[in-house]
C-alpha cells in the first residue's frame, strides 16, 4: 500500500434532478490526509454534489468507493465516517451545546461521550456556555458548535460546505487551525467554498466544478500564490 491511500473515490457520478442533468460524470478521488477544495460559479451543482456524496441524495448513476470498498445505497457505514458541515448548523435551538452534542453523539454511537463532548466544547471555546440554550448564540458561535458536532464522531472524511461564511477573523483562524490539525491526524477534507483566500490557505488541491462537470483540477504547491490561482480559475471557467 502506498503511503497515502485513496480515501474516497467517485466514479462517473451523475445526478438527474427533474429533467436537468445537475451532475455529469463526476470522477474525483480524495487521498488520505488531503484537503481538496471544490470551487465553481453559482449553480454549478456544488451542493448537489455534496449531498450525493454524503448520501442525502441518491446519485442517478455512478459509484462511490470508500477505502476501496463500494458503498451500498443508504448505508450507515458511510454516514458514520463522513462528517458533514452544511449551510445550516443542524442544531436544535432549544437545546444547550452540551445537549446538542450528546444527542448527536448518541446517534453516532460515540463512545466515552461525556468526556469527548466536554473536550470538544473546550476546543471550540464554548465550554463556558455549555448549558445555555443556543437560541441566543451568534452566527460565529453556532458555526463553532456545528464544527464540534461534526468532529464528535471522529470522522475520516470531513465535508465542509462553505465553512467560512459569516465567521469573524477569530473564528476563521480557529476553524483553519482545527482543519489543519485534523489533516495532520490523517483525516481527508473536502471543502466547497467561494472564499479564494481560505481555499488558497488550506487546500492541497483545487477542483473547478462548472455546469455539473469537473472541468479542471490543480495541485496547489507553494509556488502558486493567490493571484495566480485566481487567474487560473478565471481562465478555466471562461474557456470551457
Partner 1 sequence: MKKNSGIIDRLLFFTLVPSFFIALYLVFIWSPVEKFMGAPQKIFYFHVGCAWVAFMAFVIVGYYSVRTLINPNMDHHIKAGISAEIGVIFTTITLVTGMIWGKSSWNTWWTWEPRLATTLILWFIYVAYLFVRKMDGSWEKIAKLSAVFGIIGVINVPIVFMAIRWWNTKLHPVVFGDGKNQQGGGIEPDMLVALLFSIFTITVLYAFLMRKGVEIEKMRHIVKKAKTKAMEKLAG
Partner 2 sequence: MNSIFKDAWTIASKDLSNEFKTKQTIGMMLIFSSLVILIFSFAFDPTNNMVKAVIPGLVWLITVFSGILGLNRSFLSEHENDALTGLRSAPIDPSSIYLGKVLANFLLVTSVQIISIPVLFILFDYRFIGKIGWFILVVLIGTLGFIIVGTFLAALAANAKNSEMLLPVLLLPLLSPLMIAAVQATRIILENGTITNAVSWLRLMSAYDLLFLAACFFLFEFIMEGS
Name the site residues for partner 1 (rule: CB under 8 A): 17-19
The DSSP code for 56 is S
215 binds, among partner 1, partner 2, none (CB under 5 to 8 A by kind): none
Q: From partner 1, partner 2, none, which one binds at residue 66 (CB under 5 to 8 Å depending on kind)?
A: none
Three-class secondary structure of residue 27 per DSSP? strand
101 exposure class (CB count in 10 Å sphere: 0-12, 13-18, 19+): buried
Integer Cα distance of 10 and 198 in angstroms: 25
Kindly state the smallest distance separating residue 18's Cβ from partner 1, in Å: 5
- Sign of CA pseudo-dihedral 92, 181, 217, 24: negative
d(CA 160, CA 163): 6
# of chain residues touching partner 2 (CB under 8 A): 32
Applying the rule CB under 8 A, the residues between 121 and 150 that interact with partner 2 are 142, 149
- Binding partner at 27 among partner 1, partner 2, none, C-beta below 5 to 8 Å by kind: none
- For partner 2, which residue of 24, 79, 130, 211 counts as binding (CB under 8 A)? 79
Give the CA angle between residues 134, 135, 139 to the nearest 5°: 80
β-strand 69-70 against 61-66: which pairing, if any?
antiparallel
Which of 38, 66, 91, 208 lies at the binding interface for partner 2 (CB under 8 A)? 91
Q: Of residues 45-74, which lie at the interface with partner 2 (CB under 8 A)?
A: 54-58, 74
Grid cell at residue 228 = 495566480
* Cα-Cα-Cα-Cα dihedral sign, residues 130, 132, 134, 139: negative
Rule CB under 8 A: choose which of 108, 127, 196, 232 binds partner 2. 108
Nearer to partner 1, 57 or 113 (CB): 57
Q: How far is CA 111 from the centre of its chain?
A: 23
Which partner from the list partner 1, partner 2, none does 107 bind, CB cut-off 5 to 8 Å by kind? Answer: partner 2
Q: Residues interacting with partner 2, by CB under 8 A?
A: 17, 54-58, 74, 76-77, 79-80, 82, 84, 86-95, 99, 103-104, 106-109, 142, 149
Amino acid at each position: 500500500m502506498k503511503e497515502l491511500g485513496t480515501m474516497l473515490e467517485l466514479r462517473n457520478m451523475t445526478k438527474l434532478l427533474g429533467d436537468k442533468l445537475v451532475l455529469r460524470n463526476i470522477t474525483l478521488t480524495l487521498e488520505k490526509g488531503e484537503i481538496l477544495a471544490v470551487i465553481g460559479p453559482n449553480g454549478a451543482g456544488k451542493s448537489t454534489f455534496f449531498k450525493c456524496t454524503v448520501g442525502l441524495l441518491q446519485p442517478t448513476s455512478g459509484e462511490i468507493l470508500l477505502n476501496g470498498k463500494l458503498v451500498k445505497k443508504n448505508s450507515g457505514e458511510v454516514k458514520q465516517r463522513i462528517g458533514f458541515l452544511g449551510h445550516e448548523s443542524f442544531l436544535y435551538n432549544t437545546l444547550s451545546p452540551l445537549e446538542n452534542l450528546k444527542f448527536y453523539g448518541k446517534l453516532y454511537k460515540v463512545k466515552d461521550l461525556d468526556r469527548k463532548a466536554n473536550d470538544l466544547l473546550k476546543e471550540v471555546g464554548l465550554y463556558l456556555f455549555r448549558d445555555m440554550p443556543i437560541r441566543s448564540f451568534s452566527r460565529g458561535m453556532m458555526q463553532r458548535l456545528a464544527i464540534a458536532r461534526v468532529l464528535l464522531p471522529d470522522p475520516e472524511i470531513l465535508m465542509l460546505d462553505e465553512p467560512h461564511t459569516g465567521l469573524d477573523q477569530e473564528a476563521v483562524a480557529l476553524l483553519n487551525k482545527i482543519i489543519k490539525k485534523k489533516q495532520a491526524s490523517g483525516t481527508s477534507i473536502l471543502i466547497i467554498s467561494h472564499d479564494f483566500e481560505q481555499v488558497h490557505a488550506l487546500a492541497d488541491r483545487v477542483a473547478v466544478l462548472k455546469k455539473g462537470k469537473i472541468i479542471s483540477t490543480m495541485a496547489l504547491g507553494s509556488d502558486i500564490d493567490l493571484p495566480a490561482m485566481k487567474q487560473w480559475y478565471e481562465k478555466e471557467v471562461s474557456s470551457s
